[in-house]
Amino acid sequence: MLAQPDKEAEQFALLRVLSERGDLSQRELSERLGLSLGKTHYVLHALLDKGLVKVRNFRRSRHKLNYAYVLTPSGLTEKLRLTKLFLRRKEAEFETLQEAIAQLRQELDQYGSDHRST
C-alpha cells in the first residue's frame, strides 16, 4: 500500500530536517516544518514506530534533559527513496508549468498580433 502524497511529503520534510538538525525540540521542528505541534508529534512518532528514527537522551545542562533524533540506516534509505519520489514529482510539475507558460505566451502573442491589426 502506497502512502498518501501529503503523508510522504511530511515524513520526507521531517527526515530532511532531522538529518541536518537532530537536536531540535518538537516545538522547533514544528516551527521549521510549518506544521502544528500535534501534527509534528504524530509524524515523528510514525517515523519512530517504523524504526526510521531513534531517540537518544543527552544532557544539555545539569538541570535539563534533551533528546536527539537520529536517522537509522533504514531511515536514511527511506529518506533517499522519498527524495527520488519528491524530485520526480517536482520535475513533472516543472514540465507542466513550462507547458502552461509556453501556452500562455502563445496566447498573449496571438492576442497582441490580433490587437495590433485592428
Q: What is the pLDDT of residue 2?
A: 44
Distance CA(7)–CA(27), nearest Å, equals 19
Which residue segments constitute the domains of the chain, with CATH numbers given?
A: 5-83 (1.10.10.10)
Give the closest residue to 26 by CA, choosing from 47, 3, 52. 47
Which regions in the chain score pLDDT beneath 50? Answer: 1-3
Residue with cell 527513496: 81
Distance CA(11)–CA(83), nearest Å, equals 11
Q: What is the pLDDT of residues 68-84, one digit of tens each?
A: 899 999 999 999 999 99
Question: What's the whole-model pTM score?
Answer: 0.74
Cell of 107: 496566447
Q: What is the pLDDT of residue 63?
A: 52
Distance CA(60)–CA(12), nearest Å, equals 28
